[in-house]
Amino acid sequence: MPRTSKRISSYKQKKLKAQESSCHCCGKGDLPFAWRCRCGFTICQECMDENVWGMSCNGITWECPDCSAQNGFGNQ
């Protein structure tokens, strides 16, 4: 039993990691750094730079286009 559940969780983690590391905006994967929302939305630094005017109104927080949550720039 423990061996089976361990295998499943490591498979899950691998899959999750792959999803998390690709930008939802440009689709680029294997990002060294990316902004993430709690809903799973991921955006790379490049796309954030391009879209910051539309995603942030104060330079302190950015609004997730998927779930409209406010995410802090310094809170990663």
Q: Do 35 and 45 meet the contact criterion of CB atoms below 8 Å apart?
A: yes
The region of 8-16, 18-26, 55-63 touching Zn ion under the rule CB under 5 A is 18-26
- Residue 49 near Zn ion by CB under 5 A: no
- Residue 44 near Zn ion by CB under 5 A: yes
CB of 11 to Zn ion, least distance (A): 25
Contact residues for Zn ion, defined by CB under 5 A: 23, 25-26, 37, 39, 41, 44, 47, 64, 66-67, 69
